Structure 1
Amino acid sequence: MKVEVRYFAQVREALGTGESLSWADDAPDCPRTVGQLRSWLIARSARHAEALDLSIPLRAACNQFMCHADEALPDGAEVAFFPPVTGG
């Protein structure tokens, strides 16, 4: 499975513009939802843990549509994380 992750506003300042991720479809610990992806990223590094901490009210979009944490991750998805209000 492949996923493109994009970061915006202060998340982008902490982690950069984004990253490409891939893992085997049958990997037991691979994320299957947007919320699981966020948790998986948090476990990835201290920088990710700080920028994506679950106590921070971040919004998410999957394939350019706003979504909730339980949104399924399709192969080839583009997932974006950003604060509720972003500047121009």
Structure 2
Amino acid sequence: MEIQLLFFGIATDLVGENSLPYTIEENTTIAELKNSLISNFSELKNINEFAIAVNEEYADDDLIITNGDVVAIIPPVSGG
């Protein structure tokens, strides 16, 4: 299956892209995607601290991703 990954904030700097296509297996959960991303982008080792949104809605680790989904990787943001 093919999904689209979107990276925001520091995640863009860590990966070197703000978006890219990504291939996953059917019935992949957000938790499994996070593990796959850590394997392919060791810079994302803290991804479990990031928010994940699928098709513009925040997603829990047990959500199953479907073909064509857009998955946003959103690091923590601090402001003042």
Unaligned stretches of 5+ residues in structure 2: none
Provide TM-score, normalisation by structure 1. 0.75
In structure 1, distance between residues paired with 2:64 and 2:56: 14
Partner residue, 2:19 = 18
Cα RMSD (Å): 2.2
| 1:52-81 Cα distance to aligned partner (Å, 9 max, x none) | 214751000011100111111011110011
| 1:6-56 Cα distance to aligned partner (Å, 9 max, x none) | 10000011111021023564xxxxx70112111111111xxx122x21475
Partner residue, 2:34 = 38
Which consecutive aligned stretches of 4+ in structure 1 deviate over 3 angstroms post-superposition? none
Question: One-letter code of the match for 2:61?
Answer: A
Aligned length: 78
From 62, 66, 69, the counterpart of 1:70: 62
Partner residue, 1:28 = none
Q: Determine if contact 1:42/1:49 at 8 Å carries over to the other structure.
A: yes
Provide TM-score, normalisation by structure 2. 0.81
- Identity among equivalent pairs (%): 23
